[in-house]
Structure formats: C-alpha cells, structure tokens
Amino acid sequence: MSPTTYGLGLFFILFPPRVTCAEFHQSPSLTVKERDHVEVHCSHNDNSLVVMLWYQQKQASPAMTLIGYGYSAQEPNYEGLFAERFQLKRADTLTGSLVISNMTSADSAVYFCAASHTVGGASQAYFGGGTRLTVRESGLLVTPPTVKVLPPSTKECEDRNKKKKKTLVCVATDFYPDHVTVFWRLNGGANITDGVGTDNTALRGNKLYSITSRLRVPAKKWNKASNRFTCTVRFFNGTTDIYVADHINGEEGQGGDGGITTEYYVRSTKTAKLAYSIFIAKSTFYGLVVMALIWKFQRSSDKQM
C-alpha cells in the first residue's frame, strides 16, 4: 500500500464517515450465486466531489477496507488483491459503479461508496448507506423467516425509576440469507422507535439465521386488551422485499388505561354482592346470639327474684 492510500485509510479510521450535505444513492441489497458477477451502482449530487472511493466491510469486522479510488477522467487505483477481480467504473463525476467478477462466498459483505474533493490530507469524505451483498452458498435456498412474538414475563421487575415496564420479544428464525430488518408497530400505526432493541446482526446456526428484537412498553399500555403489538420482519429474497409479521394483544389488568371493562365490572359486582351477603348473614347470626344471651340472662334474673 502506498503512503498516500495508507494515510487515506488511517484518516477514515480516525474520523468515522458522516454525510452532512451530499445525497447518495446506492444499489439495494443484492443476492447472487457463486461464480456470478455483480455491479453495484452509486450516485451523488455534488459536482465538487470529484474522487469516488469504494470500501468493503465484512460482517465479522467493524473496520472498512479500502478497495480503490479514482477521478472521473483517470484510471482508478486499487488496493492489493482487489485489482484481480474488482473493477471501478466512472460514467461521470456524479455516477460510478463497482463490478465484482467470479464471486465467492468470501465476497459477502457490505460495500460502501464514498466521495471526496481530493485524495488524502484533511479532505472530508461523504458516504452512501452501503449495499449488503450476499453470495449464496451452494445447496442453500433462499428461505424467508418464521416470526413469533412472545409475551412479557409475569415476574418482570420494575425499573430503577419505579416505572413499571413490560418487555415483548420478537423472534425471527430459520431464514437465509441475512437480509432482514425488524420493526414494531402499535395498532397499525407508525413504526415504534422508543424502547426498541434489536440484535446488531443475525446469528447463524445450522446454516440458517435468526434474530431477536425486544420492545419495552409501559405496563399501562400492555394492560389494555385492545392494544395490538405487531412485529414485522422485512426480508429481501434477492428480487423483492417480503414482509412476515406476527402480533400479540395486551392483557387487561390493573393499571390499564382502558378504563373498567364490562367483564371486570361484572366480576367486581359479584364479588361485592357475595361479600355483602356474607356480612349480612354474619350480622344476623351474631344478633340472634346476643338476643339469646340477653333472654337467658333475664330468665336467670327472674328466677333469683
């Protein structure tokens, strides 16, 4: 690696990429077979960003590896072995692409397009959102996930600030490849972002993937039977997005914000009537006992006189 490209790579490690004004468009998620070739497209809207760079980020590593870079009117520069099967194309200043040929499973990664005013120095780079590329392994078929929403634990404790919370868990299993996005909704509304925690990456076991997501909600929302909590998994099958969902309804309980239900009112009324009947029966019995004692005491007094 030349001193210039080494300094460029070090610059992006010390200063993580940020997009502040340039708007990028990259190819969506891609799924291909081994030995195929693929072209990842990229474009942006800033004519002053004359240098286009491409990076590869493997799932097992948070670091990005520079593939190569170039100006629109010059031959691109490649890093190491990337020159053998990787090709950088530039149609003009605003558009370019990365072509990978004779692909293997080792090429599965996220590929980032970036642009800068110059190479090296303190020139800031602007990044696209990345393209997740999966080279499908031989013998494995594209398989959408199975989704299940699990209810909160009945033994879940209060949090530190004494506000009761309930945790719902969404489990997506047995899918391939791992091109998934998980999101939650309440009663079909907008996507929930507050209280959501999703695994950073899907876990692989027995060749297929799984991922979990957790939603923490106030107990009063869970304690309302009409509330429907839906977990949806968006899965890219190589051609289009497939949506697989499961839902669970809240359970009516104390602290709910839905008011007193008919069932709860009837149950409470019956309980109150039963308690009142027992109270009347006991009071009548005690009254009869007292009257019997008084009568007996009077009879005893009359005999002594």
Q: What is the pLDDT of residues 92-116, one digit of tens each?
A: 999 999 999 999 989 999 999 999 9
Residue 4 pLDDT more than 50? Answer: no
Choose between 295 and 73: higher pLDDT: 73
Homologous superfamily (CATH) for 3-136: Immunoglobulins (2.60.40.10)
Tell which phi-psi region holds residue 271, choosing left (phi > 0), alpha (psi between -120 and 50) or beta: alpha
E strands of the chain, at which residues? Answer: 24-26, 30-33, 38-44, 51-57, 65-71, 77-78, 86-90, 95-100, 109-116, 125-127, 131-136, 146-150, 165-175, 180-186, 191-192, 196-198, 203-205, 208-218, 228-236, 241-249
Looking at residue 12, its pLDDT comes to 40
CATH node for 146-249: 2.60.40.10
**pLDDT number for residue 233:** 97
- Alpha-carbon torsion 81, 86, 90, 93, what sign? negative
pLDDT of res. 7: 41
With 0-12 CB in 10 A as exposed, 13-18 as middle and 19+ as buried, what is 105? exposed
Cross-strand partners of 182: 233
Please, which pLDDT band fits residue 124 given cuts at 50, 70 and 90? Answer: confident
Q: What is the pLDDT of residues 75-98, one digit of tens each?
A: 999 999 999 999 999 999 999 999
CB-based contacts of 84-91 (< 8 A; 24+ apart in sequence): 86/54, 88/52, 88/54, 89/39, 90/52
Share of the chain above pLDDT 90, in %: 55
pLDDT one-digit tens code per residue, 22-47: 899 998 889 888 889 999 999 999 99
> Is residue 262 pLDDT above 50, yes or no?
no
Residue 16 is predicted with a pLDDT of 43
Whole-number Å distance between alpha carbons of 99 and 91: 13
Whether the predicted pLDDT of 156 surpasses 90: no
Q: Rg of the chain over CA atoms, in angstroms?
A: 34
The pTM of the whole model exceeds 0.75: no
Are the C-beta atoms of 164 and 142 separated by less than 8 Å?
A: no
Judged against a pLDDT cut of 90, whether residue 128 lies above it is answered with: yes
As a whole number, mean pLDDT of residues 175-197 equals 94
Whether the pLDDT of residue 163 is over 50: the answer is: yes
Residue 193: is its pLDDT beyond 70? yes
Q: What pLDDT, on the 0 to 100 scale, is given for residue 280?
A: 62
**pLDDT over 80 (residue 10):** no
Identify whether the C-beta of residue 99 lies closer than 8 Å to the C-beta of residue 37.
yes
pLDDT tens column, 195-235 = 999 998 899 988 899 999 999 999 999 999 999 999 999 99
pLDDT of residue 272: 47
